[in-house]
Amino acid sequence: MSAAIRSPRPPAGGTASRHPDDRRESRSRLADYAELGKLRLTSLVVATTAVGFAVAPSGRGDLLRLAVTVLGTMLAALGANGLNQWIERERDARMERTRRRPLPAGRLSAARALAVSIGWSAAGVLLLAALVNVLTALLALAVVLLYAGVYTPLKTRSTLNTLVGAVCGAVPPVMGWTAATGSLAPGGLVLAGVLFVWQIPHFLALAWLHREDYERGGYCMLPAWDRTGRLSALMVLLYSLALVPVALAGHLAGLAGLSYALAAVLLGCGIAAFGLFLVTDRSRRNARRVFLASLLYLPLLLGVMVADRSPAISDARVTAEARLDPAGSPGVSDTRLPRR
């Protein structure tokens, strides 16, 4: 049907429903913004933040604080991902897996994407500072700066970018911990260690599957540089094996009980077995198996950790520090939501 015989649109402020084309355009624009902020990746960041909050001392029951923490973290993550895509828009246009993103496809202007990404980042950091605590806000700011200012440019210069990116991914559970307690502690660092080590086999398997694409984009990823894949596969195996003791540290630190410890061993050995298959046969099939195994590993491990959380983790000293200092002057909690 031609546009000439299309039903007229209702006047602004009228009672008629919006035109279907307007609704489709709005949904398409929302989808573009979701892709700009890598909403699926952001969902993982939010989930690990929530786990850090749940297993921390006094982390359970304060749903309002958790909701604000999750929202602030989500906004900061969306902003960091948007800045990443704004910087890489020309290189993304060369790659098959990224050329349909909103910026290289021309569905969003570079100026608008930059403004929205900065707005997301600033809103997330300010929200955390105002309603959670300054420490958590500073961690969020550090992740945004590290991801956009160090990791992104390093992707075209050194294979060490993967380690820097893993640091960015390891911070969100620490943010959950600091949001609940107002301080850093070994338990939060254990969570960071698990996330850091897990990201290496996860990403290297993905990069092996898309190594030609990364090479076209000019990115310095280990699988694109490692032509035979021998070193990449070996790194997958070594970091997969390292997951066992690193995850077990969660039990030793008192984060969770014996059920979690058993899950940490079984899941770690499982992903290491797929890593061994990749070492012996560096095929796309085995790389895909490692990637899928890593996708299963993290939610299963963190789910068991939350379910098997040790009640003995409550620490009166940490709780006291998060409320008032010894002199009775305002402490960390003055920048946080009041507890019920």
pLDDT greater at residue 210 or residue 321: 210
pLDDT greater at residue 174 or residue 3: 174
Instruction: Render pLDDT for 128-161 as a digit per residue (tens, 0 to 9).
Output: 999 999 999 999 999 999 999 999 999 999 999 9
Say what the pLDDT of residue 22 is.
Answer: 61
pTM above 0.85, yes or no: no
Say what the pLDDT of residue 175 is.
Answer: 97
Say what the pLDDT of residue 21 is.
Answer: 61
Q: Using an 8 Å Cβ cutoff, are 170 and 199 in contact?
A: yes
Residue 3 has pLDDT above 80, yes or no: no
Least confident of 31-35, 155-159, 319-323: 319-323
- Burial label, 92 (beta-carbon count in 10 A; 0-12, 13-18, 19+): buried
- Burial label, 256 (beta-carbon count in 10 A; 0-12, 13-18, 19+): buried
Residue 4 has pLDDT above 60, yes or no: no
Confidence band, pLDDT 50/70/90 cuts, at residue 282: very high
In angstroms, rounded to a whole number, what is the distance separating the alpha carbons of residues 49 and 43? 10
Q: Burial code of 49-82, b = ≥16 C-beta within 10 A, e = fewer? A: bbbbbbbbbbbbebeebbebbbbbbbbbbbbbbb
Residue 324 DSSP one-character state = B
Confidence band, pLDDT 50/70/90 cuts, at residue 224: confident
Say what the pLDDT of residue 227 is.
Answer: 82
Residue 7 has pLDDT above 70, yes or no: no
Q: Which CATH superfamily is domain 28-181 in?
A: UbiA prenyltransferase (1.10.357.140)
Instruction: Render pLDDT for 254-272 as a digit per residue (tens, 0 to 9).
Output: 899 999 999 999 999 999 9
Q: How many CB atoms lie within 10 A of CB 285?
A: 9
Average pLDDT of the segment spanning 277-298? 95
Q: How many CB atoms lie within 10 A of CB 335?
A: 18
Instruction: Render pLDDT for 166-204 as a digit per residue (tens, 0 to 9).
Output: 999 999 999 999 999 999 899 899 999 999 999 999 999
- Token duo for residue 104: 């290289």
Say which residue the tokens 């969770």 belong to: 256
The set of residues, in sequence order, having a beta carbon less than 8 Å from that of 117 and lying 6+ positions away, is 36, 37, 78, 79, 80, 81, 82, 83, 85, 86
Residue 59 has pLDDT above 90, yes or no: no
